[in-house]
Amino acid sequence: MTSETAFFLAAHAVMLLAYGCLVVVVFRNAVSVVQLIMAAYDFATRVKPSQFSVDLWHRYSDLTLPVTVIAPAFNEELSIVDSIRALLALEYPEHEVIVVNDGSSDNTIGKLIDAFDCVPSDRAQLAALQKTRIIATYRSRSHPNLIVIDKENGRKADAVNAGIGFARTPLVCVIDADSIIERDGLLRAAEPFMYDTGKMVAVGGAIRIANGCEIRGGALRKVGVSSAWLPRFQIVEYLRAFLTARVANASNNTLLLISGAFGMFRRSTLIEIGGYRHDTVGEDLELIVRIHRHMREQKREYAIGFVPEIVCWTEAPTTLSGLRSQRSRWQQGSLETLIRHRKMIGNPRYGRIGLLSMVQLVIEDVVGPPAELFGYMVIPVALFLGVMDPLAALLFLCVTVLFGTGLSIGTLALEEMQLRRTPSARDLLRIGAASVVENFGYRQINLIFRLAGIMRHFKKDTSWAAVPRVGFGPQS
């Protein structure tokens, strides 16, 4: 082979790769536009919910199904008491709280026992879904609706499964012990179950970034926006995820993810499928995909809903190392779920889930991140070699930067028109600025972190990379 032939083949390989990256990026952004339109239509046509919790209480106090809130906790001694007091204070006619101490090495269990006057209980477990041993069960004498489970460490999925087994109510709400649920969150999450004929099996709600908010006693006192750029970038990401993608997907029953920070489920369905899996780092995504698969294979009617008005506040990573741990774990969990349920991909047996949702997940989480990242590197080379039209290269830049900014601004406008959770015009401008700046560095770094998650999967690294917490505060 001559050097001219080798150069020709290499140049055309670069050209094919560059155009391939362009096609993938255009497709991903086109899907995002469709989702934004669908979300806007959904917001515009559905009945607007009451903004006042007292109205919800009067409307649903006689209709609500009892709910058990399951809060897994690991080494939460500094905040566990305030967090549980906030859960006990949620506005709901009949709810129980089950705290599962997942083998904490600190004094989490001691704090719970002392603060809530807990004594040993002989409460039986109706379904043993967990893999590790239950050490003790306690009930609170000061709060009759509080149960504390002490067990060996088995990570979050195992702790939640233990709580599901001890629950007695038709519905269970799974949350992170360090998350903050708004006082009417349970009522809003339960609403889809009240008007349902038995098809609704799960409901998710919007998650917001608590960094910069005022949190006292485990409850949100004042909404704010962090002064740091990294949490603000994540606010933009969360708005796009929860107010466009999930609203749009839920509108046609193709929702594949309910965040592990907050979700309400029909307890019988969770027991029927065996609860959360213990052998994945993406248990929340895998659970919903498995529910879809189970229901489709059983040929049963079902629905998985999403209510954007529910707000659960969670702390976002404040360092790049923490963000890397979180995003690589999310990416690894997506890949694990896709491989485990690969027979669903493009399979008409699973209807729109197999033909649309699973295919989209492949493009979003397997093909998309490498394609965009390689595009930043390959397209300049293709231009230099003269094998790519400059207009095509400009299209790539517009789609990734300008178009991405436009989508973020559109989502922010949708949030402001429909929910109005941003407290001031100044904070709105700060989030708007973040939606522009994120495209110059943050977006590319995130792609690298996602590639790290793919590498973790192929290395079979299943260790849990914890995200450092700095606590809630106005400057976090």
Contact 134, 148 (CB under 8 A): no
> What is the spatial distance between Cα 300 and Cα 295, in angstroms, rounded to a whole number?
5
Alpha-carbon torsion (241, 234, 308, 62), positive or negative:
positive
pLDDT of residue 47: 56
Please give the pLDDT value at position 470.
61
| pLDDT on residue 404 | 80
pLDDT average per 10 residues of sequence, the chain (476 residues): 75 89 90 90 72 58 84 90 91 92 93 96 93 96 96 94 96 88 87 85 92 83 90 93 91 91 95 93 94 96 90 90 93 94 96 95 89 91 89 88 84 81 84 91 93 88 66 51
Determine if the pTM surpasses 0.75: yes
State residue 139's pLDDT score.
96
Residue 178 DSSP SS3:
coil
The reported pLDDT for the residue numbered 281 is: 86
**Location of each CATH 3.90.550.10 domain in the chain:** 50-344
Nearest to 270, CA basis, from 132, 148, 347, 169: 169
Tokens encoding 173:
């709400």
| Structure confidence by residue, pLDDT tens digits, 165-183 | 999 999 999 998 778 888 8
pLDDT of residue 466: 62
Predicted local distance difference test score (pLDDT) of residue 178: 73
Contact call for residues 421 and 311 (beta carbons, < 8 A)? yes
Q: Which fold is adopted by the domain 50-344? A: Spore Coat Polysaccharide Biosynthesis Protein SpsA; Chain A (3.90.550)
- Largest Cα span, the chain: 85
